[in-house]
């Protein structure tokens, strides 16, 4: 029953999920996860939970005692620290050393994994762009880059090369996921170019690669969500390249995370 005195999207039976971060106002998960719950006909909502760094270790284990809490999403600065809350760590989380989803499983145990990279792969799957057999260059070996590298490595690309402004960081990640370390960012002999650096975010007009044109057959991916069309994606489109954006990765990730929250 919806009347003027009641809303129809939350009740005593609604399962509650949260996104934990600091700061919190900028997160997009509440509106996006809740939309995905609705699309699936699930009575659930995801709300922002602003936890200060000095409170994290005390607050989180108590939040886990809320009986109708279905799970938590973690964002900056908690993705590594949150690993300690899980009883079972998924393969991606083990490879990356961080989580972004913690789910109360049907058996009552807390399972965790990280879905940034799986979201990237899911975005390619939805667009029917295969990664198997392709030569991939990934730029950026930070948090997002690590997760994307771990997920892409599982897709059996012909090769996965990782570039980072910090060669040691790129090298360490390459070893971890069985990839190679690219000394420079160039699209020569590359089928798929992926950006996981922050270059091009918000008002940053720079490209993450020294290039003025791309071959038409190159597929270009950018993990950046804002703006939707980064300078990199704008250049790629102007060259006729197929592009995949951060919002697609985010939607793919949310879908995978809701699967995870609901045990599929």
Residues that bind a second copy (CB under 8 A): 4-14, 16, 19, 24-32, 34-35, 38-39, 45-52, 55, 58-59, 62-63, 65-68, 251
Least separation in angstroms between residue 179's CB and a second copy is: 32
* Residue 24: CB minimum distance to a second copy, A: 5
- Report CA-CA distances (Å) from 53 to 24, 38, 77, 193, 236: 12, 32, 8, 36, 40
Coil, helix or strand at residue 140? coil
3-state secondary structure of 164: coil
Nearer to a second copy, 67 or 212 (CB): 67
Q: How far is the CB of 98 from a second copy (least distance, A)?
A: 20
Q: Of 65 and 212, which has the nearer Cβ to a second copy?
A: 65
Q: Which residue has the tokens 């880059």?
A: 145
Nearer to a second copy, 74 or 214 (CB): 74
- Cβ-Cβ contacts under 8 Å for 47 (sequence gap 6 or more): 16, 17, 18, 19, 30
**Between 63 and 242, CB nearer to a second copy:** 63
Find the shortest distance in angstroms from Cβ 15 to a second copy.
Answer: 9
Dmax over CA atoms of the chain, in Å, equals 63
Whole-number minimum distance, CB 216 to a second copy, in Å? 30
- Cβ–Cβ < 8 Å for 225, 28: yes
Report how far residue 104's alpha carbon sits from residue 210's, in angstroms, rounded to the nearest whole number: 45
Shortest approach of a second copy to residue 62 CB, angstroms?
Answer: 4
Asked if 258 and 33 touch (Cβ cutoff 8 Å), the reply is: yes
* Cα distance between residue 7 and residue 40, in whole Å: 19
Taking the least distance from each CB to a second copy, the nearer of 65 and 184 is 65
CB closer to a second copy, 38 vs 109 = 38
Pinpoint the alpha helices (H) of 5-142: 29-39, 56-63, 91-96, 116-126
């Amino acid at each position: 029953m919806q009347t003027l005195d009641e809303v129809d999207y939350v009740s005593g039976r609604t399962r509650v999920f949260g996104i934990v971060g600091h700061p919190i106002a900028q997160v997009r998960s509440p509106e996006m996860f809740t939309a995905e719950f609705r699309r699936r006909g699930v009575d659930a909502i995801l709300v922002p939970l602003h936890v200060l760094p000095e409170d994290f270790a005390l607050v989180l284990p108590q939040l886990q005692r809320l009986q109708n809490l279905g799970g938590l999403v973690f964002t900056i600065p908690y993705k590594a620290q949150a690993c300690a809350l899980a009883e079972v760590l998924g393969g991606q989380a083990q490879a990356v050393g961080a989580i972004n989803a913690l789910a109360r499983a049907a058996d009552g145990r807390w399972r965790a994994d990280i879905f940034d990279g799986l979201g990237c792969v899911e975005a390619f799957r939805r667009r029917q762009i295969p990664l198997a057999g392709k030569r991939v260059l990934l730029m950026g070996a930070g948090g997002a880059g690590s997760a994307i590298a771990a997920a892409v490595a599982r897709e059996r690309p012909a090769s996965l090369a990782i570039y980072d402004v910090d060669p040691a960081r790129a090298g360490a990640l390459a070893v971890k996921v069985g990839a190679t370390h690219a000394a420079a960012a160039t699209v020569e002999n590359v089928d798929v170019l992926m950006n996981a650096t922050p270059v091009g975010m918000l008002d940053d007009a720079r490209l993450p690669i020294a290039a003025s044109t791309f071959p038409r057959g190159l597929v270009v991916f950018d993990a950046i969500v804002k703006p939707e069309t980064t300078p990199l994606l704008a250049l790629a489109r102007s060259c006729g390249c197929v592009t995949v954006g951060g919002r697609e990765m985010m939607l793919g990730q949310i879908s995978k995370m809701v699967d995870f929250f609901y045990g599929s």
